[in-house]
Amino acid sequence: MGFQCCPQIMGLQRQGHVTKSNKRGAGKFICAEMGADRISSSEIIRHEDSKHNTYTNYIDGENFSSGFKLWDYIEKQGDTIEVKCTDKRTGQEVIRYRKSKADAVLGYAYVIKPPAEVTEQWTDEQKAKFYEDSFDAMCEIMPEVFSHENRLFTAIHVDEGFSLADEHLHGAGIPRNADGKYTGNLIDAKHLSLMQQEFPKHMRDKGRDIEDNDVTDWQKYNTDKQYRDERKVYLEQKKKDGKGGLTPNQYRKFLAQKKLNEANEILIDAKSKLGDAIKTYNDTLATQKNIKHEIDVRADALADRKAEETIQQYEREFDYRVNAKAQEITAPIQQSCECALKDYNNRIANIDNAVEEQMRLYIESQKNEDTPEMKRVKQFLASRVSSKTKKSELDVYNEYAQHHPLDRTERIRRDTQRIADAVRNTDWSASQWQLD
């Protein structure tokens, strides 16, 4: 994840001669605050942890950590500036020494402070490498001001912030080019804006995931009216918010926090509305369920009624068809029974007539005989005739219809035939009819 970081640079001048610019500062005070003296009374400094600060001196032959001594050295260098000139008498080039102007920029100070949430994950070696890469980038962007040869002093402060892991680096040096000429006048808004624009690019070339900074392009500001108007609105809004003293990065963080707070308020309001919507939805869903249940109950009742009516209709149709089929089946049977009964009655009548005729003939031939054998014959014939006349036509019909009428009819026919044969073939001699 990328982060934003850019060195904060300031020109150092003599006390009492500081020009009205936020790019200049009193060198003595700034160096004393940077060094082990830590003369600042700021509440954010934990002086009990100042002993953990580390200082590095790059001046040959010197090993001090005091900020006052550092400024004394810078000021002494400004009082003995080498100037190459031509001697009028000899015509030769000579070196003269002169004192710098009272308001000259004699030194520079810078601060490199990556975000604490990033540095707390780094080792001491990784932090040192980042600080060195940062100063290399400064030298590449403004070589006429910064170089390793003119860097004098660095200090790593861990006595600010919330813990010892929240650290940053201070550095100081003399702004001179390769020819030894003072170039402190280049520490101005234009060049420092260039530093903020180019620093992230150079750091990315060194493998650092640094994001671009929000800076004013002064060349574009002077030539592009639309850009100038936009920056004016931005600066006026910054002043209106009461954050005019913040750096662009700090103000950007303020705006981000402000937008985050607004987003949180919108989120809270959205959650409240979502809760109301969910409650309304649940109430609507419950009502719909109740309505659906009532509809289902009514639909089930209607379906049951329709099913019952359909079943009754099918039963009526079934009964009608069964009755019709039964009538269709029983009609021939009834007709057959009637025919069989009629044939039976005819046969019985024929048998009766035959028996009566035989009796009449026999009686006529034997009417004058009154022997015991004759009595037994008369008794037998009377029993036979009586047995044939015991059943009425209705009894014969009911028995015929209930017990296999066709078989019963056939049996009656055979019995009738057998009786007729018996009467016809009986040996009526006296020896066949002996009384017991």
Over residues 360-384, the pLDDT tens digits come to 666 566 555 555 655 655 555 555 4
Over residues 186-198, the pLDDT tens digits come to 998 888 888 988 9
DSSP assignment of 422-435 equals HHHH----GGG---
239: burial class by Cβ within 10 Å (0-12, 13-18, 19+)? Answer: exposed
Over residues 52-79, the pLDDT tens digits come to 899 999 998 888 899 999 999 998 888 8
| pLDDT number for residue 250 | 66
| pLDDT number for residue 92 | 82
**Taking the model in full, what pTM does it have?**
0.52
Q: Where are the beta strands (DSSP E) in 113-188?
A: 151-157, 168-173
- The C-alpha atoms of residue 130 and residue 112 are separated, in whole angstroms, by 9
Q: How many CA atoms lie within 13 A of 425 on its CB side?
A: 6
Mean of all residue pLDDT scores within the chain: 78
Which two tokens mark 101?
Answer: 């102007």
If one compares 108 and 222, the residue with the highest pLDDT of the two is 108
| pLDDT number for residue 249 | 56
Residues in Cβ contact with 348 at an 8 Å cutoff, skipping those fewer than 6 apart: 388, 416
- The C-alpha atoms of residue 179 and residue 309 are separated, in whole angstroms, by 117
DSSP assignment of 75-110 equals HHHHHSEEEEEE-TTT--EEEEEEPPPTT---EEEE
Single-letter amino acid code for the residue at 356? E
- Exposure string for 353-382, b = 16+ CB within 10 A, e = fewer: eebeebbeebeeeeeeeeeebbeebeeebe
Which two tokens mark 354?
Answer: 């035959």
Contact (Cβ atoms closer than 8 angstroms) between residue 173 and residue 151: yes
